Amino acid sequence: MKLKTITPLSFLMGSALALVAISANAAELSRKPFGALASGEAVEAITLSNAHGVSATIITYGATLQSLIGPDRTGKKADIALGFADAATYEKNASYFGASVGRFANRIGKGRFTLDGKTYQLALNNNKVAALHGGVKGFDKVVWKVLDAKSGPTASVTFGYVSPDGEEGYPGTLTATATYALDEQDQLTITYGAATDKPTIVNITNHALFNVAGEGVSDGAMGNVLTIPADGYTPVDAELIPTGATTPVAGTVFDFRKPTAVGDRIRDARDPQIVVGRGYDHNYVLTGKSGGALRLGARLADPKSGRVLEILTDQPGIQFYAGNFIDGTTIGKSGKIYRQGDGIALEPQHFPDAPNKPQFAPVRLDPGQKYSNTMVFKLTVQK
């Protein structure tokens, strides 16, 4: 006769509590409609959230970061990403707020590049002098497909988009992915990937504009304290195209190696680069090796709330744009008018106009190769 094994009640209770603890610490994912485009195509919103009050909402239109919410030193939560409340408003505004931009982020001079002896002409959608962020209908203006979505210790969603050969003038069919993942360490990781069936160029990034004081606050983002660990930046010409040179930041208004409020020197017209860019709109050459381990690319802090946003990257550069061209005609998701200086973009990427500057890191992608760009947005609180 077999003796019946009796499991102690204390063990069962302990196991149940452990399961509750695991569940409480697991990041969650939810999905809901986000309106539709003028064509009637539906747009969906996916929200990733963790146990610490951090959440990120991404919409399928442009694989766009629509919201990033985090607490301040008192626990009060605020959205720190500029954006809109519905799909129709995103479609009407060519602002790139939070969008995945490609095939080639940033500017290509005269919209032209040569690959294997053939010259390709792209749309001149930036003041009729340059190609910008992938063209008239770049990755930011298409609805991406949700390939995978899951909760877990890390909640994540993966989007996919297939750009056909010749789209916006680029060669090759490009299969692109964008994965957003939120963990319990308050890190939102964005990973872009791509593969091609013929030689092409690729440079995909995220164009989020942040204000760690809170989106739409009356003081704007110029009080955000910025650190960029870079010894040099790439100066631009009158059309905002890099000249090909690298200029040391030491002794200039571009030196953010020590924490400095963004607005402190943004109007210093003694520096002609500030005049050309109407403020900061420049690529920084990050220290450390690119393509390997993640390293700090930038840090934004708000002294009042204590919110801190660190951006880790494996890319060679980071574009710092201080919202110079936001003109007060756009109304954001909280009903506030967005004005010049209300948001700060820090975009990990390859250098602008790299296809035409052999001294810059190459952006060519061949069949059989895999393109990748990983960035981490880490939220912390300064006491």
CA distance 70 to 223: 18
Place of tokens 């390709």: 120
Active site residue 350: no
Residue 207 appears among annotated catalytic residues: yes
Which member of 44, 167, 215, 347 is catalytic?
347
- Nearest one of 104, 111, 103 to 127, comparing CA atoms: 111
Q: Which residues contact 70 (CB under 8 A, 6 or more apart)?
A: 53, 54, 77, 78, 80, 186, 307, 379
Select which of 44, 133, 167, 207 is catalytic. 207
DSSP string, 162-180: EE-TTGGG--S-EEEEEEE
The CA distance from 326 to 213, in Å, is 18
| 126 alpha carbon, distance to own chain's centre | 20
Question: What are the phi and psi torsion angles at 47 (to 5°)?
Answer: -110, 130
Q: β-strand 225-227 against 295-301: which pairing, if any?
A: antiparallel
Q: What amino acid is encoded at 258 in this protein?
A: K
The residues that are catalytic are 207, 347
